[in-house]
Amino acid sequence: MVAPLLVLAVVAAPVATSLALPTPTPIAQSGWVTPGDFPQGLPVASRGRPLRYMLDVDATGAVIACQIVGSSGVVAIDRATCALLQQRAHFVPAHDSGGKAVQSSFLGTIAPPVMAIAPAPGGIGGRSAQGLFGHASPVRTTGRLLPLDLGPPPGSPGLALILPPPPVDVAEDAAPPADPAVRYGQLPNGLHYAIMRRQSAVTGVAIRMQVAAGSLDETDRQRGYAHLIEHMIFRGTANVPDGQLTRRLEQMGMTLGRDTAAFTMPESTLFVLDFPNSAAAPTHTGLTLLREAVDRATIAPDALASERGVVLSERRVRDDPEQRSQTARLAFLLPGQPVPDRWAVGTLEGINGATAASLRAFYEAHYRPENVTLVVAGNIEYGQVEDEIRAAFGDWVGKGPAPAKADQGHVRPRGEDFCIHVGPGAPDQAEADWVADYDRSPDTMARTRRVIATLVAGSVLNTRLTRLGEDMAAPFVSASVQTHPLFHSAQVTSLQAEPKPGQTNAAIAAVLVEARRLVRFDIGKQEFDTAVAGLRPRLTRMVDSANIRDTGDIANRILADINSDTVFTSPAQAAADAQKILDTLTPATVEVAARRMFAGAGPLVYVSADTAPEGGEAALRAAVDAADRQPLSAPPALVTTAWPYTSFGAPGQVVDRQTIADLGVTVIRFANGTSMTVKPIPAMKDQILVNLNFGRGLAGLPAALERSYWQVVSPAMPLIAGGLGKVGMADIATLFAEHRVTIGYLVSDSRFMLTGETSIADLGNQLQLMTAFVADPGFRPSAFEKARAVAQSQLGQLDATASVTMRRDLSVLLAGGDRRWMPVPTPGDVANSRADDLPAILRPALAGPINVVLVGDIDVARAIALGQATIGALPPRTTRPDGAIATFPAATADPVVVTDHGNADDAVAVAAWPTPGFFADKRDSRGLQVLAEIIRLRLQEGLRAHDGLTYSPGVHTAQSTIDDAYGFIAADVELTPDKAALFFTTIGAIVADLAAHPVMPDELDRARAPMIDDAQKRLRITTYWASELVGADADPRIFDTIRTRLPDLYAISPADIQRLAQRYLVQAHPYRAIFRAADAPRP
């Protein structure tokens, strides 16, 4: 549908995204992929292209699948990121323009600097409080902003919060002090728990229950059992009938996926509950339900019969080229170890062969108290929660002897080796790895020092690779190094490159030469100082944000540290320890770390490609041998220049100032046609989110340049990667290394956006950087060539599965074929696109009205002064470019069939109905959102729970905010091709019933309650304001959208639902489409 668009539009305002499929709102996104997950640092922005991932998210907010749709150029990051996202990601479900929960896709961008700061399992030296160095990297490029919890809601009863003590000096051989706000304990039966009291306005109580039972505990015949049991727990327990667990949580304002979820991994199974502040007795309810889950699952044969189909559907979704490449890589890196053979979703033989009795035997053997760890964080009292844990779990006794835990083995000693994985749609990636046994050294300052030294060494090498990659002649699009754990099986240093087409061997050779250069020659003082300086602002950021961390993220981090046998410390202690190490670190120490990075078994050269590289393994070996023999010279000295964009002209004049008192927003207009929208939030201590928006977004793309629409949403972000006219991105990153200055790029239907996160002190620098991109973008040819190479590598992946093909094409199909709404490249586009097309598209938008949204710890008067000196000082603005509108297609007698190159047993069926745009009638628009959620619940209970045909049916609305005549409701399901007709029959019956009969109040409440809870949460999430206020300077209806969301939802009645079904669903034939493999049987 809209994969590339959503990659860049993660924070686009809900009222500003209409024709593209709506985007879900991430919950605790900061904890999904944190620096603590990836040990080696990528030091600067635009060192390579960001990682693009696609999450299938159902209308409850549940993640049903993950796929890497744009490699970071760091294969290990790609693999590990998808695994982490499936484990951790949860959402407020997507809403169309007025607030209705819908199925969607979340395509996200994670910039390499964000991904690469994790030092060791659980964080630097075990300090995992938000992940050390984790929230702001110098001039990072990113497609997302960090949602933060703004603390307790106004008027909430106070809790006696435990204030962390001042940091203490930690001896080199000692572990850091644990955060005293966490209380640890163990029941006599062996169950472990950790409790942390913290007030939160977004999540009242976060509970995590981990069972040390995963796919590694399965025998060959049991492959898939752990995952099947995770599913079966939701199909009924002794005291909670089939289907009632989800209903109970929905009645508390929770949704499956957003607030409650479960994940099966090789080492464990995780259950997640995030209760809203409005939930009554959340810990009692949560712990009671979790006891049911771990000890009283019924695992009934009839429920298994239907749920098996759901799991097989999930397996079809996940069995994609990226997953197959991941499996091949793990098998190459870890031969003889069990992880590569234990994909959590299992084998067809294991899933189909499972019986209720065999599953129960596995469940009773592995689900036992000594295998369980509970984490509870939020608005709680320690003594009460400990009593409730004892009451819920104290009498639980495991059945029979405990089975032995899986042995993950040891890394096999070996030298240079090669593996080439070729498959349709496989990502184009190349890497050299060095593998060692998992690091089990104790959590001490000495280990932290080693890890930070390794981080700095990797940062130096990554800076060199970035600068090398800016050369037009470089054989790779991006390259980077990192050191990271693979479960508890190994520690891996991965030197990875995303090669340009036809240059795989040269790319591998080039990065190997740079690794040799790092090890052989001393690190220069300027390089060393720049790498160290880039880490310091993150420490301040970590401490400043300590009081606004998301509760769910905190629970995740506590559990991660328990799993890594590291200490969960306070952010202040972690920052103090890191500062002490940075103050005493020397180039010599970093050089030792650099040698240690490449000391494992290897290099193990792994290549993944859609088609076999020319010359095969022999040519690859020859290239590596040549790289080994190439004479080396010392790296050139790092030379920096002064920042050239300190003045944009005479300060602008303020011509209007409007205060929207009830929303706490001020809009300032300058004489040149620019404006600022400012929302102060003092709770965001020293954090400011910035969104500079311009143009018409996708709606303003000129028809004459269709061949280059893809450049606008390219994950290579050529606008940012092209740097500025007077300085490139590598130099920008060096110039701002000591500052909290970030830069990102997003696109919505109606705006282009530059985004960032900064501090009070650096707001001026942040605005200078963003204004420079308006006044003097570089548009370097090298950035275009990188973007074209990325697009070329994507072509084979865009139709690799039915789901990906649907996301590529559906928005265009439902917009009457207008490619603006899904600008993915075709082979012809890639061949014919030109470097000067992107400037031709963006310069008119950059010359038009500019608005900057500021949200956070900001004084309005200071914001105005800085705005006058930056955007207000620009030349007078031209008019905003015109925007296009979409046309819903006419229904056809037979479904439209779109073919892909995926598996023959995989298909997606879609039915869609036209509706008005959002502002045609805001209350009806929100009623349509509720109607879509009711349809989704019925599909969930029918096609999934009863028939077992699909993993996660989805229904969503799209309601244009730029055209009152355009919108739609669309339902889609993944299934086997022969079941598409059954879906169309089922959805038709559901629609007819909704038009004929009013829904019952309970069904309406189940659909609406999570949406109401979501609407309440949004007002307490910073990124909501940073995105929702985009466009409000030009369209004040957006302010009313914020005000009316809750009242409109409360006012919707069963009669409204029936009226809307009659008006929009039964009076029009749906547009139907089937996405399936070219050789799949027709329905």
Give 63-126 as a DSSP string. EEEEEEEE--S-HHHHHHHHHHHHHH-EEEPEE-TTS-EE-EEEEEEE-HHHHT---STTSBTT
pLDDT of residue 18: 28
Instruction: Please state, in angstroms and rounded to a whole number, the distance separating the CA atoms of residues 701 and 510.
Output: 38
Instruction: Please state, in angstroms and rounded to a whole number, the distance separating the CA atoms of residues 826 and 831.
Output: 9
Residue with tokens 């011509």: 655
For 222-232, how does the pLDDT look when each residue is reduced to its tens digit (9 = 90+)? 999 999 999 99
Instruction: Please state, in angstroms and rounded to a whole number, the distance separating the CA atoms of residues 397 and 187.
Output: 11
CA distances 111 to 26, 132, 379, 917, Å, are: 17, 17, 33, 34
What residues have CB less than 8 Å from 305, skipping those under 6 apart?
Answer: 948
Q: How far is CA 1061 from the centre of its chain?
A: 34
Residue-wise burial string across 536-567, b where 16 or more C-beta atoms lie within 10 A, e elsewhere: bbbbbbbbbbbbbbbbbbbbbbbbbbbbbebb
Query: Cβ of 177: how many Cβ atoms within 10 Å?
Result: 15
The amino acid at residue 318 is: R
* CATH topology match: 654-802+814-873 vs 896-1077: yes
CA distances 373 to 389, 693, 736, Å, are: 11, 45, 43
* Average pLDDT, 10 consecutive residues per value, the chain (1083 residues): 25 26 46 43 32 55 52 48 57 44 53 30 30 34 36 41 73 92 96 90 84 95 95 92 81 75 92 84 92 95 90 84 90 94 91 96 97 95 96 96 92 95 88 95 94 94 91 91 92 93 94 96 92 88 80 91 93 93 95 95 94 92 95 86 95 97 96 97 88 95 95 93 94 90 92 94 97 97 92 84 89 93 90 96 97 96 97 97 91 93 88 96 96 92 64 86 94 89 92 95 90 84 90 94 94 97 92 87 48
In the structure encoding, which two tokens stand for residue 859, read together? 């004084």
Q: Identify whether the C-beta of residue 218 lies closer than 8 Å to the C-beta of residue 229.
A: no
Which of 364, 1031, 388, 501 lies closest to 785 in space, CA to CA? Answer: 501
In the structure encoding, which two tokens stand for residue 555, read together? 């629970």
**Torsion angle (degrees, nearest 10) of CA 773, 778, 783, 788:** 90
What residues have CB less than 8 Å from 871, skipping those under 6 apart?
Answer: 652, 670, 674, 676, 692, 767, 771, 774, 850, 852
Instruction: Please state, in angstroms and rounded to a whole number, the distance separating the CA atoms of residues 134 and 148.
Output: 14
Query: Cβ of 896: how many Cβ atoms within 10 Å?
Result: 15
Task: Give the domain ranges of the chain.
Answer: 654-802+814-873, 896-1077
State the greatest distance between any 2 C-alpha atoms of the chain, in Å, as a whole number: 80
Instruction: Please state, in angstroms and rounded to a whole number, the distance separating the CA atoms of residues 108 and 89.
Output: 11
Q: Identify whether the C-beta of residue 939 lies closer than 8 Å to the C-beta of residue 991.
A: no
SS3 40: coil
Q: Identify whether the C-beta of residue 775 lies closer than 8 Å to the C-beta of residue 572.
A: no
Which of 941, 71, 782, 908 lies closest to 496 in space, CA to CA? Answer: 71
Cα of first residue to Cα of last residue in the chain, in angstroms, is 22
Tabulate helix, strand, coil % of the chain (nearest 5): 40, 20, 40
pLDDT of residue 22: 43
Strand partners, 911: 971, 1072
Instruction: Please state, in angstroms and rounded to a whole number, the distance separating the CA atoms of residues 700 and 257.
Output: 35
Q: Identify whether the C-beta of residue 400 lies closer than 8 Å to the C-beta of residue 362.
A: no
Which of 757, 500, 775, 740 lies closest to 648 in space, CA to CA? Answer: 775
Q: How far is CA 430 from the centre of its chain?
A: 23
Residue 603: cis peptide before it, omega within 30 degrees of 0: yes
Instruction: Please state, in angstroms and rounded to a whole number, the distance separating the CA atoms of residues 747 and 918.
Output: 19
Going by their DSSP bridges, the two strands 967-975 and 896-900 should be labelled as unpaired
Q: How far is CA 793 from the centre of its chain?
A: 22
Q: What is the DSSP letter of 426?
A: -
Going by their DSSP bridges, the two strands 51-57 and 104-110 should be labelled as antiparallel
Query: Which phi and psi (to 5°) does residue 372 adopt?
Result: -110, 135
Sheet architecture: strand order including 269-275: 182-186, 192-197, 372-378, 205-211, 269-275, 260-264
pLDDT of residue 1020: 79
For 271-293, how does the pLDDT look when each residue is reduced to its tens digit (9 = 90+)? 999 988 777 789 999 999 999 99
pLDDT of residue 99: 39
SS3 193: strand
User: What's the CATH number for 654-802+814-873?
Assistant: 3.30.830.10
pLDDT of residue 112: 37
Average pLDDT, the chain: 84
In the structure encoding, which two tokens stand for residue 169, read together? 């000096």
Instruction: Please state, in angstroms and rounded to a whole number, the distance separating the CA atoms of residues 902 and 905.
Output: 9
pLDDT of residue 221: 95
Q: What is the DSSP letter of 176?
A: P
Instruction: Please state, in angstroms and rounded to a whole number, the distance separating the CA atoms of residues 111 and 140.
Output: 7
In the structure encoding, which two tokens stand for residue 316, read together? 């079809």
Strand partners, 955: 971
Which of 577, 535, 472 lies closest to 168 in space, CA to CA? Answer: 577
Query: Which phi and psi (to 5°) does residue 139 adopt?
Result: 45, 55
CATH class of 896-1077: alpha beta
Instruction: Please state, in angstroms and rounded to a whole number, the distance separating the CA atoms of residues 644 and 646.
Output: 6
Q: Identify whether the C-beta of residue 520 lies closer than 8 Å to the C-beta of residue 632.
A: yes
Sheet architecture: strand order including 1071-1077: 896-900, 1071-1077, 907-914, 967-975, 954-959
Tally the residues of the chain: 1083
Apex 755 CA angle, 749 and 756, nearest 5: 165
Strand partners, 678: 666, 854
Instruction: Please state, in angstroms and rounded to a whole number, the distance separating the CA atoms of residues 569 and 557.
Output: 10
The amino acid at residue 783 is: A
